[in-house]
Copies of this chain bind each other. A is one copy, B any other.
């Protein structure tokens, strides 16, 4: 398997919001070329589960998680922009996280990893662009958790990005989304195989991860989409269903997605990233929403929300747009009627391509 990842190793102690790591490695990928003036860089933060592989490249021709969006002549046009996507600190695709070896013990950090905050992920991303000598980004971009991280970046490093693009994101998590994610984490922790976080890497809590992923899928899409897509269609290719097996096509769909997910994502990393989303709150930066958002020193911002998103509902993007209006001179707020809920930015490319292109 080819690999386009690069790694930034920070040997100095890395200060987190609630702890310190003796050393940190951050995996990232890049596309395009940094201009001589160094003014065409775009930093992309990801949602909870993706790696830094946003798009294919000569070094890794496999399809990236935002393949339609990043590349030559695509909305984030790598003929014009130098795009950097970081794997989040705390994740498990090359960046230091709970599954990484703690140099003090020679064992994985597991629950010994400090409490993770989105601010830490943002700071790790900042270290990457700093190491490249980039003083000011063309823009910082993120969707979902990545949007919250991009916002944290813009608050913590005022002026480090000329533009901010936040998609299906929020200034802080609502109690509803906290409840959903808290339950997902409890489901993982209730799997006996989790063993208080001490599962051997080759025997992860697959049952808990499968169930948590199904709850994730339920919250990422929309009821309207599934009504159109599945209705009450019965599952056809399920062999022995047993007393409480799969009856309906929508159940088959969830099963297929969940099975694909497990094995790719470390359970402890998932727990840390999930909780980091709950903990994030713009109000922690200055005492109020207004004060927090006032720290963003960008020239331009685009906020995109989706009507059918019930995990990060439209009111949250409206709140961001209205709050940023006070400080960002050129602010655009777009509402998309996509039917795929929170996940729309990954699937409804016909609507998202032009919306993102308008910013670039």
Contact = CB atoms under 8 A, between A and B. Distances in A.
Interface string A238-261: 000001101111110010000000
Contact of A251 (B172, B178, B226, B244): B178
A230 B175 contact: yes
Interface string A155-172: 000000000000000001
A246 to B, nearest CB: 8
A160 B211 CA distance: 43
Given A232-B281, A313-B223, A244 B178 contact: no
A244 B215 contact: no
Interface in A281-336: 281, 310, 313
A313 B223 CA distance: 9
A129 B89 CA distance: 64
A197 interface: yes
Interface in A191-237: 191-192, 197, 207-208, 211, 214-215, 217-218, 222-223, 226-227, 229-232
A135 interface: no
A340 B207 CA distance: 32
B223 A176 contact: yes
A179 B244 contact: no
B175 A231 contact: yes
A191 B174 CA distance: 29
Contact of A248 (B175, B230, B310): B175
Nearest to A230: B175
A282 to B, nearest CB: 11
Contacts of A180: 218
A68 B177 CA distance: 32
A244 B183 contact: no
SS class of chain A's interface: helix, strand, loop or mixed? helix
Oligomeric state, in copies: 2
A333 B189 CA distance: 45
A131 to B, nearest CB: 31
B244 A189 contact: yes
A190 B174 contact: no
Nearest to A311: B223
A55 interface: no
A271 B244 contact: yes
Nearest to A183: B214
A185 B183 CA distance: 15
A187 interface: yes
A119 to B, nearest CB: 16
A34 interface: no
A207 B249 CA distance: 28
Interface of A: 111, 115, 172-180, 182-183, 185-187, 189-192, 197, 207-208, 211, 214-215, 217-218, 222-223, 226-227, 229-232, 243-244, 246-251, 254, 271, 275, 278-279, 281, 310, 313
28 contacts: A115-B243, A173-B232, A174-B223, A174-B226, A174-B227, A175-B229, A175-B232, A175-B248, A175-B249, A175-B250, A176-B223, A178-B248, A179-B214, A179-B217, A179-B250, A179-B251, A182-B254, A183-B211, A183-B215, A187-B187, A190-B208, A192-B192, A215-B215, A223-B313, A232-B281, A247-B275, A248-B278, A310-B310
